[in-house]
Each structure stands twice: as structure tokens, then as C-alpha cells.
Amino acid sequence: MTSGAQANEDTVEDKVVEFYDNFTEVFREIWGDNLHVGYWHDAADEAPVEKATDQLTDQLIARLAPRQGQRILDVGCGIGEPAFRLARAAAVDVVGVSISRYQVGRANERAGALDLAGRVSFQYADAAELPFPDASFDGAWAFESLIHMPDKEKVLREIKRVLRPGSTLVLADMFSQPDTELTFQDIITTPEMSDYRAVIEQAGLVVQDITDITANTLAPQSVRDGIAADLLARKDDVIAMTGPEEFERMVDGVRVPKAYGYLLATVTTD
Ligand code: SAH
């Protein structure tokens, strides 16, 4: 399934499903329940990955500014950790969707175990065809999920369709930088920062703010060394997911900060 292994007719969506159905648990064991990068406030912040990934969720919650009683859509929900944090921070209902049925099952189980099932639920859906009526949500985020969706304009239009006028949509996504090879190229496509705003605007959304937070996503060296050690300790499992060449690139990228980019955007419907 990894790049170059064999040519086949699988779509990006098929590959993403295969990746998350098979590797969500490996990812979790190494990284934790948040399937996204960490956020470190400044050079003095030595938060471990579990805390730093929650800190990134808090940045999105602040941008979303949820109000009591709102219904929020979580596009690409993973196993639900960001949705649970949002639901604990504000008296809102959250509906998460993922293209991985495995993740949807795990996320709903976890909602039940956390006693949040009354307000937080998850269902299978492709973000390009959301199974919801027009104007049925008050806000949304796509938290490190657009990266897997080649036709971002289409997905953004679809999210816009299900949002009520005056809603906020928060985006957290990687962007590519010149001369940088991202890992997982068969399941990741993303424009450069300079093109990102145009994609959002072409979908008919209004950009309120778009900020390059790459520097905040680079872990301090002490944390990096720990992550590299964890990856090496789980080498066989991780290689099953990445292939040997990608594995080397990943470990190098953890040890020495790599020039991928990361942005947060606050977007509104008119
Ligand atoms: N937001 C979660 C998960 C991020 S990982 C977190 O921060 O923990 C990327 C997520 O996007 C996965 O849940 C994956 O299944 C989902 N995803 C990727 N492509 C998708 C698509 N076309 N439709 C719906 N979800 C998708």
C-alpha cells in the first residue's frame, strides 16, 4: 500500500481508508489519542506530545468561539479526542464524520465510555458528500483532515452548504513548502501557503484570518528525541505503515526539524 509498492486503481479515498483502518491503533500507541501535530507556545514550552496536541485543539476551540447550544460539525474526526475536548469546553453538540469506519466505531465507543454520547456522536461519511441537510450546523472544523482531500474546493463547498449563514469554520492543515518532500505522499496532497487562501475563497468562503504556525508545531529537542526513540522502539509496526524508506525519512524529520508548513485559518460563511 505504500508509495511505489504496486500500481493499482485505488483512489486517494481508498488509500486513506486503508491507512486509518489499519494503522489508527499504531499511531495512537506512539502518539496518543489526538491524531494531529502538537502546538508549543514558545521556546520554554516543553510539553509532552499528549499535552501539546491538546494545546493545538485549544487553539482551534478559541478560533471557533463556540456558544451554548450550537451544533458543530467535526470533519475528519479521528477517534474523537478533539470533539470530546470541544464538548467539555463548551455546552455544544458535536457530530464527527470520518471516512474510516474503524475510527467511527472507536470514537462512538469512547463517547459512551466518557458519558458524552448524548452530545457527541460520530458517523461514517466522505467529506465530499456530507449526509446532512443544508444549513444544519452552526460551526465546523476540519482538523488536519483536508490534507487527505485532493479536491479541497469541493469539500469546502460541501462544508459551506451544511453551515448556516454567519457560521465559523476553522481549518488546521499542513501546507507544502518548496523543496520539501512530505511523507505519506500517496495519501497527502496540499498546496503551498500562498495558494491556500485562494482555494478557500474559490469555495465561496470568507477568510477572516490565516496564520502560519509552523514554528509552534516544531517540538523542542527533548520531546523530539523521545518521539524518535518511540518510533525506533516500534520500528516494525511503523515500517508496516510507512515502508522502510519513509521510515528513515520520518525518523530524520523528527530529529532535525523539517520544513513542512502548518496553518490555522478562521473562515466564515456570509
Ligand atoms: N481530526 C482528528 C483526526 C485527524 S487524522 C484529530 O485531530 O485527531 C485525519 C482524519 O481525516 C481521519 O479521521 C480520516 O479518516 C479523515 N478523513 C480523511 N479523508 C476523509 C474524507 N474524504 N472524508 C471524511 N474524513 C476523511
The DSSP secondary structure of 111-147, one letter per residue, reads HHHTT-TTTEEEEE--TTS-SS-TT-EEEEEEES-GG
CB 37 within 8 A of CB 103: no
71 forms bridges with which residues in the sheet? 93
* Ligand 1 neighbours (beta carbon < 6 A): 13, 16, 20, 34-36, 76-78, 81-82, 97-100, 103, 126-128, 143-145, 148-149
Q: Can you list the domains of the chain with their CATH numbers? A: 4-268 (3.40.50.150)
State the Cα–Cα distance between residues 126 and 124, nearest whole angstrom: 7
Please write the tens of the pLDDT for every residue from 186-241: 888 888 888 999 999 999 999 999 999 999 998 888 888 888 898 899 899 889 88
* pLDDT value for 208: 98
Q: Which of 145, 186, 189, 217 to mutate to test the pocket of ligand 1 (most atoms within 8 A of CB)?
A: 145
Polymer length in residues for the chain? 270
Q: Which atom of ligand 1 is nearest to the CA of 126?
A: 23
Q: Which atom of ligand 1 is nearest to the CA of 143?
A: 1
Sequence letter at residue 252: D
Sequence letter at residue 167: S
State the Cα–Cα distance between residues 217 and 260, nearest whole angstrom: 10
Cβ atoms within 10 A of the Cβ of 43, count? 8
pLDDT tens-place values along the chain, 270 residues long? 444 445 557 899 999 999 899 888 888 988 899 999 999 999 899 999 999 999 999 999 999 999 999 999 999 999 999 999 999 999 999 999 999 999 999 999 999 999 999 999 999 999 999 999 999 999 999 999 999 999 999 999 999 999 999 999 999 999 988 766 666 778 888 888 889 999 999 999 999 999 999 999 988 888 888 888 988 998 998 898 888 988 888 888 777 766 579 999 999 998
- Kindly list the distances between the CA atom of residue 116 and the CA atoms of 89, 102, 206, 220, in Å, as whole numbers in the listed order: 12, 19, 32, 34
Interval between CA 30 and ligand 1 midpoint (Å): 18
Interval between CA 186 and ligand 1 midpoint (Å): 15
State the Cα–Cα distance between residues 54 and 143, nearest whole angstrom: 12
- Kindly list the distances between the CA atom of residue 206 and the CA atoms of 61, 163, 199, 200, in Å, as whole numbers in the listed order: 19, 13, 11, 7
Residue labelled with grid coordinates 490565516: 210
Interval between CA 96 and ligand 1 midpoint (Å): 10
CA-based radius of gyration for the chain: 18
Interval between CA 125 and ligand 1 midpoint (Å): 10
